Amino acid sequence: MSLDKDQFVARYGGVYEHSPWIAKQAFDGGLRAAGNSADGLSRTMTAIVEAAGEDAQLALLRAHPDLAGKLAIDGALTAESTSEQAGAGLDHCTQEEFARFQTLNSAYTRKFEFPFILAVAGYKRAEIIDIFENRVGNDRQTELHEALKQVHRIALLRLTVLMQEGDIQ
């Protein structure tokens, strides 16, 4: 890997939403061969998050935007989140769908104290709403586990895109 730490963090620091500390720790841990593929780097970063403890994990989850939420409407999402939400058609919600997302976002955040997170790639709006409605009924521990699983999936998808744009250096 030929990137120095600042270059590495600049390139991979956004893989986990607003959480460059994960890329910094991955670099500091010595990437070796794991850093040469999306899967390898994903495994390294996943291990860092899983070892970070619940406070850091909750901060990571809370760094994510609501689906079809205010930040999306205001155009204030990260480029990655904008692309992912648009890819699932969330930028074309009907008024009814948008209202449903707002209701679900509020209920979910009130119950779990972090936003609903789903790696939306491959899903359509109606499917996302169905998943959302089912998950809001989970208990907190189940949902914490599922939200982290989804965050790791998002990170892997983002790493894969970065790798396709140019080999890890």
Residue ranges per structural domain of the chain: 65-151
Inter-residue contact 40 to 168 (CB < 8 Å): no
Is residue 91's pLDDT more than 60?
yes
Q: How many CB atoms lie within 10 A of CB 106?
A: 12
Read off the pLDDT of residues 100-129 as tens digits, 9 standing for 90 and up: 999 999 999 999 999 999 999 999 999 999
* Per-residue confidence band for 168, with pLDDT thresholds at 50, 70 and 90: very low
Catalytic residue among 18, 64, 92, 152: 64
pLDDT of residue 94: 87
Residues 6+ apart with CB under 8 A from 157: 84, 119, 121
CATH class of the structural domain 65-151:
mainly alpha
Is residue 24's pLDDT more than 80?
yes
Read off the pLDDT of residues 25-66 as tens digits, 9 standing for 90 and up: 999 988 765 667 899 999 999 999 999 999 999 999 999 887
More confident of the two residues 120 and 145: 145
Q: Identify whether 64 is a catalytic site residue.
A: yes
Is residue 2's pLDDT more than 60?
yes
Residue closest to 31 by CA, chosen among 22, 20, 41: 41
pLDDT of residue 71: 45
User: What average pLDDT does the segment 18-27 reach?
Assistant: 95
Q: Which two tokens stand for residue 108?
A: 């979910």
pLDDT of residue 78: 66
pLDDT of residue 75: 57
pLDDT of residue 48: 97
Q: Mean pLDDT, the chain, as a whole number?
A: 87
pLDDT of residue 110: 97
pLDDT of residue 139: 98
